[in-house]
Amino acid sequence: ILNVEQSPQSLHVQEGDSTNFTCSFPSSNFYALHWYRWETAKSPEALFVMTLNGDEKKKGRISATLNTKEGYSYLYIKGSQPEDSATYLCAPSTGGFKTIFGAGTRLFVKA
Amino acid sequence: EAGVAQSPRYKIIEKRQSVAFWCNPISGHATLYWYQQILGQGPKLLIQFQNNGVVDDSQLPKDRFSAERLKGVDSTLKIQPAKLEDSAVYLCASSSAGGTEAFFGQGTRLTVV
């Protein structure tokens, strides 16, 4: 894995808005993909791990999908709340167990 | 279970000084990572250990950075001498195996002035 791209870099939304982010990665030698949530002054925490093409995971208002053939994953947040404000990091891993982090998408949710 | 412990939380040093960071991973986790996170960027892997052996240190600036995990548990990361561009958050993480979920410490915020 040479390059992981996340977009947008930052996003400002109003409380109640739904939003989504993209993570793009080279599809060769794919092993797994983690999404992490990183709040200011805290440690990054894992949200989801996905391994299979077509995987969909959901936790409350947050869900994610994975397409390993074309090399992308989407993270969706339904009805954003101020407490969702954080940086969302995408981290794909290769079969050699190397994990590369994207630069993250910084989400700001205004009440 | 106890999480990943790092110290210190904050450190301010002058350029050309030395600094060391310490990490105690989750008990039983064989894989330990050191990441550097510069403001506005994603975490960059500096070094990955499997027990006390180095798996990947390709992005570690070896002229000034060093890391060790002598007994396969705790790890230290050292910078000698520090440069202004080393100002960053240094995150330690551990996992039960490479490629699986990583658990992060709270990081050490280094400011080089």
Contact state of B102 with A99 under an 8 Å Cβ cutoff: yes
The answer to whether A1 and A102 are in contact (CB under 8 A) is no
The answer to whether B75 and B66 are in contact (CB under 8 A) is no
CB count within 10 Å of CB B80 equals: 13
Cβ burial A12-42 (10 Å sphere, 16+ → b, else e): ebeeeeebebebbbeeeebbbbbbbbbeeee
**Residue range A43-95, pLDDT digits in tens:** 899 999 999 999 999 999 999 999 999 999 999 999 999 999 999 999 998 87
CB count within 10 Å of CB A55 equals: 17
Residue A1 has pLDDT above 60, yes or no: no
Residue of A nearest to B40 (CA): A103
Contacts of A99 in chain B (CB under 8 A): 33, 45, 98-99, 102
Residuewise pLDDT in 10s, chain B (113 residues): 579 999 999 999 999 999 999 999 999 999 999 999 998 788 888 999 988 899 889 899 999 999 999 888 999 999 999 999 999 999 999 998 766 888 999 999 999 99
